[in-house]
Amino acid sequence: MTRMAQLAALAAACAAAGAGVASAADPLQPQEWFLAAVGADRATAPGPGVPLTIVDSGLDAAQPDFAGRPATAYLNAQTTTGPNENHGTEIASVAAAPANGTGIAGIYPQAALDVWDATPAPTGIQSQPAAAGIAAAPCPGVVNLSWGTTTIDPVVDQAIQAAERRGCLVVAAAGNLGDKGNPKVYPAADLHVLAVGSSDQSGAPAAFSSTGPWVDLLAPGVGIEVDTPLWRDPSGNVLADGTSFSAAIVSAAAAWVWTERPTLTAAQLFQLLRGSVVNGVLDIPTALAAPTPPNDPQEPNDTVAEAATQPTLKSRIAASLDATKDPRDLYRIVVRGRVRLTVTHGAVARIVARKGRIAYAEVTLARGVATARYVLRVTSG
């Protein structure tokens, strides 16, 4: 039986049992203020569906909450006893700890959870293993990256772009440097990556959370009850702060919403989650009910290598731009003779390169415009 068939059978069994986010009373659930803060208590989470891949340190399968968890795939060998190797277990718990009467319940308790250990050495997340984990993620699906740096990592960037082309939504932690100069943090600040900052119990941005126009939404990240390996705490649970946990909450919510709304593309889900926040904070019921955003099937198409091909000599292209996460679109056009571009208000179009019958048309935002839904018309001959 394939994994998708196994998940379908498991989902049917869960539905028959009436499973939901609160189907079992986990002892620490009353302390999980973040569930109500994002509306997880006002909707019933589905059974396994769209896969959620966590690329982090390893998930400790011996942690009591995860022992025997169904719908869990360990994509590589997991190490969980080195310095900081509690992080992956804690992230997975916030996202998808099962409602099984033990520890906590995650945002999406029955998520189809895939985990990849990107910490082969005790020095933390490494570029090559992280990129391999992103490449291993099943797409369409959600990829959670609860880590980052203040410099762009080209190896990780290329893996993210490839995952996006395969139909995945990539979610990343915005970083905990808001009170330390507030630099951009990557990969959260990358194009098309959903960047998540932290909110506190009042719904305000957490003091430590990185901020800026590149941060797409907030989710709880202060005083978060998490499962942790027993070597770190014999109780199996601790309180944690950080945008890492905020990203995990959004990733789980994204997989939940996508499972309930399977016709969405990753680009539509990105816009839906950004656009359905309440006071800047993720709200799952609002995302479940919000109108479907216009599709932008050409994305990602920000570079010549990614340029979307338009094979006809006369094309009409509807797409969108965003100043922080999608400021430029490129199209590869088959042309004959002179090329004419016209674009609707809010955007600017021009030919940036041409060789023989292939031309590249660039569309950018007009001066002073933050977002635009545009129509580009191309004629040639």
From edge to edge, which strands make up the β-sheet containing 339-343? Answer: 314-322, 371-380, 339-343
Residue 133 and residue 116 in contact, taking contact as beta carbons nearer than 8 Å: yes
* Catalytic member of 57, 198, 244, 246: 244
In angstroms, how far is the first alpha carbon of the chain from the final one?
54
8 A C-beta contact, residue 148 and residue 187: yes
Number of helices and strands (H, E) in the chain?
8, 16
Question: Domain containing 194: what range?
Answer: 3-289
Shared-domain flag, residues 213 and 141:
yes
Give the pLDDT confidence of 331-349 residue by residue, as tens digits.
888 877 788 899 998 999 9
Question: Do residue 190 and residue 334 come from a single domain?
Answer: no
Instruction: Tell me which H or E stretch contains 378.
Output: strand 371-380
Whether residue 210 lies in the annotated active site: no
Residue where a domain terminates, one of 263, 289, 315:
289
CATH number of the domain at 31, please. Answer: 3.40.50.200
Structure tokens at 190: 């990358």
pLDDT recorded at residue 356: 79
Distant-in-sequence, close-in-space partners of 356: CB < 8 Å, separation ≥ 6: none
Q: What is the CA radius of gyration of the chain?
A: 21
Distances (CA, A) of 74 to 57, 80, 116, 157, 350: 12, 13, 7, 23, 47
Point out the catalytic residue in the list 23, 57, 87, 199: 87
| Annotated catalytic residue within 26, 56, 65, 190 | 56
Rounded to two decimals, the pTM is 0.87
Domain boundary at 289, 319, 337, which?
A: 289
The tens digit of pLDDT for each residue in 95-153 reads 999 999 999 999 999 999 999 999 987 778 999 999 999 999 999 999 999 999 999 99
Paired strand residues for 199: 205, 220
Confidence of residue 304 (pLDDT cuts 50, 70, 90): low
Clarify whether 380 is annotated catalytic. Answer: no
User: Is 87 part of the annotated catalytic residue set?
Assistant: yes
Indicate if 106 and 9 belong to the same structural domain.
yes
The answer to whether residue 314 is domain-embedded is: yes
DSSP classification of residue 186: B
Number of domains within the chain: 2
Residue 1 predicted with pLDDT over 50: no
Q: Say yes or no: 184 and 90 in one domain.
A: yes
If DSSP codes are grouped into helix, strand and coil, which group holds residue 87? helix
In angstroms, the CA 344 to CA 348 distance is 8
